[in-house]
Amino acid sequence: MIVVSSYGNEFSVEPIEGRTILTLVNDKVKIPELDGIPFQCQSGTCKRCIVFVKQGHEYLAPPSQTEMRALGPRLGNGFRLACQTKAIQQKKFLRQKMIRKRQELDAEYRAAADKIIIERCMGLSAIQNAKTIMLYSDFRGEVGTRQFVERLLEDGKQVFLPVTDHAAKLLLPVQITGFEQLHPGAYGILEPQIPPEAVINKQDASNVSLDVVVVPGVAFRTDGGRLGYGGGFYDRFLANLPNPVIKIGLAYQFQIDETFPVDDHDVMMDLVVTQKKVYGTK
């Protein structure tokens, strides 16, 4: 094992056949094959390397964005990302594991768990006191929300579901009065029609005053940390809301996982509701 340091980060290098030897010059990792171009770690929070591969060789620590752009024409297609930071790898593995487990759930188990989760939510003061609530249309084995939506509409709540604009990477909350208004949208997820007067942009979310947002997720921590699908749609949406809202994550109990890291841009949930417990104090 060889340990090298670059920009204050330490990297463990396992010498294996075909791996290029890294050298330190002025506290910068230098790669002989790339004319000594300095490489630096971009994963400042986890302080672990990213590995790139070129012509069968693995390189620790990627270039900065500026250096990457400068190197691009010279590296060509032979330079690719081989593996990512440990944190990113961990999240990717956990997403695959949780989504697979959700989709394999027995229908009877799912129906029973969904019913309990909805009942727990309906008993929350945050839901009872709310006038405007945004939920999601479940897919890929997420906790079902149809009965939840119907119960809220029966109670006279204003219910919103998101429309996804993938080009702008934004969510637009649209009010509904029944499921007959929904149609398959992105990825086949049921969503409302966008009102003709609406234009999806960062300002649209601020035109809707929401009291509660019910959020899907792949996994949750007991402190409110959330692992989504990696697109950042909900993090951006929640961060851009003009007024504080109560954020509630729905999950099956097995989706509670304390191992995944939370980044600075990740928006924390106030409550996480499973069929076994409510985490949080709102």
Packing angle between helix 107-122 and helix 146-154, nearest 10 degrees? 30
State residue 92's pLDDT score. 81
- % of the chain at pLDDT higher than 90: 44
pLDDT digits (tens, 9 = 90+) for 128-167: 999 999 999 999 999 999 999 999 999 999 999 999 887 7
CA–CA distances in Å: residue 148 to residues 85, 197, 252, 281: 38, 28, 15, 21
CA angle 227, 230, 236 (to 5 degrees): 90
Contacts of 189 by beta carbon, 8 Å cutoff, 6+ apart: 137, 139, 164
Task: Tell me the average pLDDT across 76-105.
Answer: 69
CA dihedral 98, 103, 108, 113 (to 10 degrees): 40
> Which helix (H) or strand (E) is 126 found in, with range?
helix 125-128
Q: What pTM did the predictor assign? A: 0.69
Long-range Cβ pairs for the range 54-57 (8 Å, 24+) = 54/78, 54/79, 54/80, 56/18, 57/18, 57/19, 57/20, 57/33
Mean pLDDT (the chain, rounded):
74
77: pLDDT strictly greater than 50? no
With cut-offs at 50, 70 and 90, classify the pLDDT of residue 195.
low
Which among 78, 92, 6 is positioned nearest to 49, based on CA atoms?
6
State residue 255's pLDDT score. 97
55: pLDDT strictly greater than 80? no
State residue 90's pLDDT score. 77
Q: Looking at residue 222, what DSSP letter applies?
A: T
State residue 232's pLDDT score. 87
Domains by residue range for the chain, with CATH: 2-84 (no CATH), 107-280 (3.40.50.10420)
With cut-offs at 50, 70 and 90, classify the pLDDT of residue 83.
very low
State residue 227's pLDDT score. 94
